[in-house]
Amino acid sequence: MEQDTQDFAAEARSFLDAHATKAPDRAARTWGQGDDSMAYFSSLPPEQEAEQVRRAREWQRIRYENGFGWITGPPEYGGRGLTPVHDLVYDAIESEYDVPDTGVLGVVGLGMIGPTILAHAQPHIKERWLPAMYRGDAIACQLFSEPDAGSDLASVTTRAVREGEEWVLSGQKVWTSVAQHSDVGLALTRTDPEAPKHRGITAFLVPMDAPGVEVRPLRQMTGGADFNEVFLTDVRVPDDHRLGEIDGGWTVALTTLMNERDTVGSEGAGPVAAALSPDHLSALMRATWTWDDRALRARLGELLVDVLATGHLNARAQRSLRAGVAPGPERSVAKLMYGQNLTRAAHFVGDCLGPRLIADTGQWGTYAWSELLLATPALRILGGTEEIMKNILAERVLGLPKEARA
């Protein structure tokens, strides 16, 4: 039976009141006070990062034990059996509280891999992994991209060869977020090199502690190592860890990618919220004595039009979802705009700051923006490059003909 959203909201509030404290509004924070970090990607020292992961797991467990860990999940696997609307209601309420960041579990594992396991795994594998993931015990990562297969994912060459009831996997994956913390990974492998490339792929769940799995941090241009390279050398995986049919892995991959597009670009809050906050940007103009600069003001106006219009787009998509209408292309458009808005904001701020963006004067809220600036090129690439997103909009939304593909 579906629970009334108002009762549900009240229940969520009393849970959060009991386990968390109300958060200050990040976007409205006072200039010159508090943490001035503008990091989109984390670049914490290992011990701090480990502590963050521990806190994320703990908060996920508390959520799960109180019925808010997997709101839309089917009860037979430990979910609450409610609707995406309840999910939205909970997220909106939780955003008012100061709770540990659970991105390490949520963005890839619960946002993308969980729904894929639910759709394609055998029942006993769902029982084995799903409650563990939603309880915060198991972190999952996505072993999709390879050095030679980035946006063109169907070109994966990691081999999987059957040996009795097991498969032997060998190859290299790259751009794997949270692999260093993961307990399980979803791998795309090549099982039929002769077949047309979309048809010779098979998907497997790989326990990350299996012999032959090696994770190496990949340092990015931001200086941190958010991503990893994952080397698979004769890794043995039982056949029941296969998702979907043999050579039918592309269908499995599409489930994950669809969920990826819903996940990326929805991170409206976080430390970089201030970058798109009118109040914060106006305070920055005052602090940098660029308040009266007509050219900068005009650019700020243009930027804020897009920021606020993107907000309207998201608000309308959420309202559609609440009304039970499948959203249109809004999410893809919002993802594109989110990357572009943050990029323009970082460059706008740079033009206000001048030299204070290129060398640290020690002044609050100045050099800190260099962290965001260095993250912006990635925002136009991760989760599907801008070019791929535009192809999707043109082909699937506008119905333009596909490009001839090999």
Give the residue numbers marked as catalytic: 260
From candidates 13, 128, 297, 322, binder to other proteins by CB under 8 A: 297
Three-state DSSP class for 22? strand
Helix (H) or strand (E) holding 312: helix 294-322
Binders of other proteins in range 329-368 (CB under 8 A): 329-330, 333, 336-337
Q: Which helix (H) or strand (E) holds 185?
A: strand 184-190
Which range in 13-21, 160-168, 208-216, 323-331 contacts other proteins by CB under 8 A? 323-331
CA-CA distances (angstroms) from residue 123 to 16, 243, 344? Answer: 33, 11, 47
Which residues have C-beta within 8 Å of that of residue 135, sequence separation ≥ 6?
60, 61, 64, 65, 69, 78
Which residue number, 285 or 342, has a Cβ lying nearer to other proteins?
285
Q: Is 296 in contact with 290 (CB distance < 8 Å)?
A: yes
309 binds other proteins (CB under 8 A): yes
**217: part of which helix (H) or strand (E)?**
strand 213-218
Which of these segments, 100-108, 167-175, 258-266, 393-401, binds other proteins (CB under 8 A)? 393-401
CA neighbor of 181 nearest in space, from 140, 232, 128 = 140
Question: Running DSSP on this structure, what letter comes out for residue 33?
Answer: -
CB atoms within 10 A of CB 65: 11
The least distance separating other proteins from the CB of residue 291, rounded to whole angstroms, comes to: 9
Q: How far is CA 171 from CA 5, 189, 384, in A?
A: 47, 9, 22
The answer to whether 59 touches 100, Cβ cutoff 8 Å, is yes
Is residue 396 a contact point for other proteins (CB under 8 A)?
no
CB-nearer residue toward other proteins: 89 or 281: 281
Note every long-range contact of 59-65, with CB atoms under 8 Å and residues 24 or more positions apart, other chains counting.
59/99, 59/100, 59/102, 59/136, 60/102, 60/105, 60/106, 60/134, 60/135, 60/136, 61/135, 61/136, 61/137, 62/19, 64/134, 64/135, 64/136, 65/135
Residue 308 lies near other proteins (rule: CB under 8 A)? yes
- Asked if residue 381 lies in contact with residue 336, where contact means CB atoms within 8 angstroms, the answer is no
293 lies in the site for other proteins, by CB under 8 A = no
Site string for other proteins, 258-287 (x = CB under 8 A): --------------------x--xx--x--
Asked if 72 touches other proteins (CB under 8 A), the answer is: no
> In this structure, are strands 184-190 and 97-98 parallel, antiparallel, or unpaired?
unpaired
The Cα 279–Cα 28 span in angstroms is 7
Q: Between 128 and 297, whose beta carbon lies closer to other proteins?
A: 297
Residue 272: φ, ψ to 5°: -90, 5
Q: Which is nearer to other proteins, 226 or 330 (CB)?
A: 330
Question: Which of 36, 330 has the CB closer to other proteins?
Answer: 330
Torsion of CA 329, 39, 100, 51, to 10 degrees: 130
Residue 387 binding other proteins, by CB under 8 A: yes
Cβ closest to other proteins, residue 218 vs residue 296: 296
**Total of chain residues touching other proteins, rule CB under 8 A:** 41
Find the part of the chain contacting other proteins (CB under 8 A) among 50-58, 106-114, 255-263, 382-390.
Answer: 382-390
Binding of other proteins by 305 (CB under 8 A): yes
Residues in the chain: 406
Q: Does 395 bind other proteins (CB under 8 A)?
A: yes
One residue of 158, 191, 255, 310 binding other proteins per CB under 8 A: 310
Which span sits near other proteins by CB under 8 A: 199-207, 242-250, 326-334, 362-370?
A: 326-334
Does 28 engage in binding with other proteins (CB under 8 A)? no
The one segment of 74-82, 165-173, 186-194, 303-311 that binds other proteins by CB under 8 A: 303-311
Which range in 7-15, 125-133, 192-200, 307-315 contacts other proteins by CB under 8 A?
Answer: 307-315
Minimum distance from residue 265 beta carbon to other proteins (Å): 13
Closer CB to other proteins, 161 or 308, in the complex: 308
Residues near other proteins (CB under 8 A) = 278, 281-282, 285, 297-298, 300-302, 304-306, 308-310, 312-313, 315-316, 323, 328-330, 333, 336-337, 387, 389-391, 393-395, 397-404
